[in-house]
Chain A
Amino acid sequence: MKLESKVPSGPIESKWDKRRNEMRLVNPANKRRYRVIVVGSGLAGGAAAATLGEMGYRVDCFCFQDSPRRAHSIAAQGGINAAKNYQNDGDSVYRLFYDTMKGGDFRSREGNVYRLAQLSAAIIDQCVAMGVPFAREYGGQLANRSFGGAQVSRTFYARGQTGQQLLLGVYAELCRQIAAKTVTMHPRTEMQELVVVDGHAKGIVTRDLVTGAIETFAADAVVLATGGYAPVFYLSTNAMGNNVTAIYRAYRKGALFANPCFTQIHPTCIPVTGEHQSKLTLMSESLRNDGRIWVPKRAGDKRDPRQVPEEDRDYYLERIYPAYGNLAARDVSSRAAKRMCDEGKGVGPGGLGVYLDFSDAIKRLGEGVIRERYGNLFDMYERITGEDAYQVPMRIYPAVHYAMGGLWVDYDLMSNVPGLFVLGEANFSDHGANRLGASALMQGLADGYFVIPYTLSNYLAGQKYGAVAASRPEFRQAGEEAQERIRKLLSVKGKRSVTSFHRELGKVLWEHCGMERSRGGLTKALEIVPAIREEFWENVKVTGGAKELNPELEKAGRVADFLDLAELICHDALAREESCGCHLRAEYQTEEGEAKRNDKDYCFVSAWEHKGPGQKPVLQKEPLEFETVHLAERSYK
Chain B
Amino acid sequence: MNLTLRIWRQRNAQERGSLVSYEAKDISPDMSFLEMLDVVNERLIAKGEEPVAFDHDCREGICGMCSLVINGLAHGGRRATTTCQLHMRHFKDGDVITVEPWRSRAFPVVRDLVVDRTAFDRVIHAGGFVSSNAGGAPDANALPVPRDDAEKAMDAAACIGCGACVASCPNGSAMLFVAAKVSHLAHLPQGHPERAQRVLGMVHQMDLEGFGNCTNHTECEAVCPKEVSISHIAKMNREFIRASVLEA
Please give the residue numbers on chain A whose beta carbons come within 8 Å of chain B beta carbons, in ascending order: 47, 50-51, 54, 65-70, 72, 74-75, 84, 86, 122, 124-131, 133-142, 158-159, 161, 163-165, 168, 171-173, 175-176, 178-179, 185, 187, 210, 239-241, 273-274, 276-279, 281-282, 379-380, 383-384, 386, 449-450, 453, 497, 499-500, 541, 543-544, 548-552
Q: How far is the CA of A548 from the CA of B13 in the complex (A)?
A: 11
Contacting residue for B45 out of A86, A128, A179, A543, CB 8 A: A543
Question: What residues of A have a CB within 8 angstroms of the CB of B134 in the complex?
Answer: 47, 50-51, 54, 126, 449-450, 453
Contact with A along B91-130 (1 / 0, CB 8 A): 0000000000000000000110010111011001110111
User: B133: shortest Cβ distance to chain A, in Å?
Assistant: 5
Which size bracket describes the interface of B in this complex? 35 or more
For the complex of A and B, the 6 pairs showing the least CB-CB separation, nearest first, are A140-B144, A172-B129, A129-B137, A125-B137, A273-B30, A133-B153
Task: Check if B60 is an interface residue, CB within 8 A of chain A.
Answer: yes
User: A614: shortest Cβ distance to chain B, in Å?
Assistant: 29
A158 contacts B154, CB within 8 Å?
A: yes
Question: What residues of A have a CB within 8 angstroms of the CB of B133 in the complex?
Answer: 51, 54
Question: What residues of A have a CB within 8 angstroms of the CB of B39 in the complex?
Answer: 276
Q: Do A139 and B124 contact each other (CB < 8 Å), given the known contacts A51-B134, A239-B63?
A: no
Q: Which residue of B lies closest to A349 (CB)?
A: B30
Contacting residue for B60 out of A75, A171, A549, CB 8 A: A75
Contact with A along B19-56 (1 / 0, CB 8 A): 00000000010111011101100100110111101011
The contact sample of 24 A-B pairs, CB cut-off 8 A, is A50-B134, A54-B133, A66-B55, A66-B116, A69-B64, A70-B57, A70-B63, A74-B63, A74-B64, A129-B132, A135-B154, A159-B154, A161-B62, A179-B126, A187-B118, A239-B58, A273-B28, A274-B30, A380-B61, A383-B61, A384-B87, A541-B45, A549-B12, A549-B111
A130 contacts B121, CB within 8 Å?
A: no
Contacting residue for B117 out of A67, A126, A158, CB 8 A: A67
Question: What residues of A have a CB within 8 angstroms of the CB of B238 in the complex?
Answer: none
Q: Do A240 and B110 contact each other (CB < 8 Å), given the known contacts A130-B130, A133-B184, A187-B118?
A: no
B188 contacts A131, CB within 8 Å?
A: yes
Q: How far is the CA of A544 from the CA of B45 in the complex (A)?
A: 10
Contacting residue for A278 out of B35, B45, B50, CB 8 A: B35
A176 contacts B59, CB within 8 Å?
A: no
Q: Do A125 and B118 contact each other (CB < 8 Å), given the known contacts A175-B128, A175-B129, A274-B30?
A: no
User: A229: shortest Cβ distance to chain B, in Å?
Assistant: 15
B124 contacts A171, CB within 8 Å?
A: yes
Q: Do A139 and B144 contact each other (CB < 8 Å), given the known contacts A69-B161, A125-B138, A129-B137?
A: yes
Question: What residues of B have a CB within 8 angstroms of the CB of A163 in the complex?
Answer: 62
Question: What residues of A have a CB within 8 angstroms of the CB of B130 in the complex?
Answer: 129-131, 172
User: A1: shortest Cβ distance to chain B, in Å?
Assistant: 34
A66 contacts B117, CB within 8 Å?
A: yes
Q: How far is the CA of A122 from the CA of B134 in the complex (A)?
A: 9
Contacting residue for B85 out of A67, A165, A178, A380, CB 8 A: A380
Q: How far is the CA of A135 from the CA of B147 in the complex (A)?
A: 8
Q: How far is the CA of A70 from the CA of B56 in the complex (A)?
A: 10
B60 contacts A281, CB within 8 Å?
A: yes
Contacting residue for A125 out of B55, B140, B154, CB 8 A: B140
Task: Check if B145 is an interface residue, CB within 8 A of chain A.
Answer: yes
Question: In this complex, which of A86, A138, A175 has the most chain B Cβ atoms within 10 angstroms of its Cβ?
Answer: A175
User: A390: shortest Cβ distance to chain B, in Å?
Assistant: 16
Question: What residues of A have a CB within 8 angstroms of the CB of B170 in the complex?
Answer: none
How many residue pairs, one in A and one in B, have C-beta atoms under 8 Å apart? 218
Question: What residues of A have a CB within 8 angstroms of the CB of B49 in the complex?
Answer: 543
User: B153: shortest Cβ distance to chain A, in Å?
Assistant: 4
Q: Which residue of B lies closest to A548 (CB)?
A: B12
Question: What residues of B have a CB within 8 angstroms of the CB of A130 in the complex?
Answer: 129-130, 132, 190
Question: What residues of B have a CB within 8 angstroms of the CB of A273 in the complex?
Answer: 28, 30
Q: Which residue of B lies closest to A552 (CB)?
A: B51
Question: What residues of A have a CB within 8 angstroms of the CB of B188 in the complex?
Answer: 131, 133
Question: What residues of B have a CB within 8 angstroms of the CB of A168 in the complex?
Answer: 157
Contact with A along B67-81 (1 / 0, CB 8 A): 000000000000011
Please give the residue numbers on chain B whose beta carbons come within 8 Å of chain A beta carbons, in ascending order: 11-12, 28, 30-32, 34-36, 38-39, 42, 45-46, 48-51, 53, 55-65, 80-81, 85, 87, 89, 110-111, 114, 116-118, 120-121, 124-126, 128-135, 137-141, 143-147, 150, 153-154, 157-158, 160-161, 184-185, 187-188, 190-191
Q: How far is the CA of A384 from the CA of B87 in the complex (A)?
A: 7
B63 contacts A72, CB within 8 Å?
A: yes
Q: Do A499 and B58 contact each other (CB < 8 Å), given the known contacts A140-B147, A386-B87?
A: no
Contacting residue for A240 out of B45, B57, B121, CB 8 A: B57
A75 contacts B124, CB within 8 Å?
A: no
Q: Do A67 and B145 contact each other (CB < 8 Å), given the known contacts A175-B125, A543-B45?
A: no
Question: What residues of B have a CB within 8 angstroms of the CB of A128 in the complex?
Answer: 137, 140, 143, 190
Question: What residues of A have a CB within 8 angstroms of the CB of B118 in the complex?
Answer: 66-67, 187
Contacting residue for B139 out of A125, A282, A383, CB 8 A: A125
Question: What residues of B have a CB within 8 angstroms of the CB of A139 in the complex?
Answer: 144
User: B59: shortest Cβ distance to chain A, in Å?
Assistant: 5
Question: What residues of B have a CB within 8 angstroms of the CB of A240 in the complex?
Answer: 56-59
Q: Do A544 and B50 contact each other (CB < 8 Å), given the known contacts A274-B28, A386-B89, A499-B42?
A: yes
Q: How far is the CA of A168 from the CA of B128 in the complex (A)?
A: 10
Q: Which residue of B lies closest to A71 (CB)?
A: B63
Q: How far is the CA of A273 from the CA of B105 in the complex (A)?
A: 39
A129 contacts B190, CB within 8 Å?
A: yes
Question: What residues of A have a CB within 8 angstroms of the CB of B60 in the complex?
Answer: 75, 279, 281-282, 380
Q: Which residue of B lies closest to A449 (CB)?
A: B134
User: B55: shortest Cβ distance to chain A, in Å?
Assistant: 7
B129 contacts A138, CB within 8 Å?
A: no
Q: Which residue of B lies closest to A86 (CB)?
A: B141
A67 contacts B161, CB within 8 Å?
A: yes
Q: Do A164 and B190 contact each other (CB < 8 Å), given the known contacts A66-B118, A67-B118, A274-B30?
A: no
A122 contacts B137, CB within 8 Å?
A: yes
